Amino acid sequence: MKFIKDKYTELSVLDKQKYIKLIKDKFERKLAHELDLTRVSAPLLVTKESGLQDDLSGVERKVSFDILGGKELEIVQSLAKWKRVALNKYSFPIHKGLYTDMTAIRRDEKMDEIHSIYVDQWDWEKVIVRNDRTIDYLKRTVKKIVKAIADTNRILKIKGFDSVDIYKDVYFITSQELLDMYPDATDKEREYLITKKYKTVFIIGIGEQLSNGKPHDTRAPDYDDWSFNGDLLIYHEVLDMALEISSMGIRVDKDTLIKQLEKAGCEERLQYAYHQSIIKEELPLTIGGGIGQSRLCMLLLGRAHIGEVQASYWDKEILMQCEKLKIELL
């Protein structure tokens, strides 16, 4: 675990809890204002046949269980698909949207200083029109999210905690351009190099195969349009790393859904109700994403481990390592 102690500020558990509450309260209001979003309630559970489960990269095992009567339910891995259905169900107008608190369990997540089996994020989605399905619209949306982060950090400083600086100027680069820039580096090494240089970076185009025959990273084929999506990375000084704060994008339309399912070899998903709704063009065109709540708190408070800002399960190795480094987990 790479840990730069002179960048780390000691905080009591009670002070951390106070600032976590401040960050979450202020950021969600800033986000709602910037993107014109309304808060809604969201499910923890979905059925497999609904097609609403987020399959992430396609290999993660869901947490599922049966209830009285034999019905099997799955804990959501994200709400990427549910949100689009909700926008239609609640009749949201064009350029208006929703956000919600999403919690999930990802049982196959490898635990470390930034990964936990417990996931908490703000999931958001808004209605767009076909002319909005452009890189320019995606970039404008990213800039609004970064503004909300920077404004929240400014409030944190006013309230007495001055730990990090957030660079509001976003450096945009496509995943192919990033590969061309650092052809001998791995995807994570490329992310680190570009983010350490520019501090706030958005990598466009996640999921599509690049010139080296591989995608920059895997992405489910049935929610993001791989041409109009990306990851928001911000440099985290304490861990000297590129910290992914958000994965987001313009969602698939009918043609893109079919094309990406074919590329991924997942055509059988077309039988699900969600996918049929896109094919029949019953759902609105949308843009959306997830913003990690614990990740954002970890960034703005300059924490060395995500367990400092969320209560989760940690194995003995992590507990011993944090104790040795005097990192107090919740």
Q: Which residues pair with 234 in a beta bridge?
A: 200, 243
For residue 154, count other CB atoms closer than 10 A to its CB: 12
Instruction: Burial-class residue 124 by CB neighbours within 10 Å (0-12, 13-18, 19+).
Output: buried
Structure tokens at 208: 């599509």
In degrees and rounded to multiples of 5, residue 143 shows phi and psi of -60, -35
CB 325 within 8 A of CB 1: yes
Residues in the chain: 330
Residues taking part in catalysis: 54, 106, 121, 231, 244, 247
Q: Which residues neighbour 244 within 8 Å (Cβ) at sequence distance 6 or greater?
A: 191, 231, 232, 233, 292, 295
Structure tokens at 43: 């499910």
Torsion sign (Cα): 138, 139, 141, 142: positive
Q: Which residues neighbour 140 within 8 Å (Cβ) at sequence distance 6 or greater?
A: none
Structure tokens at 15: 């002070």
Helix %, strand %, coil % of the chain (to 5): 40, 20, 40
User: What does DSSP assign to residue 152?
Assistant: H
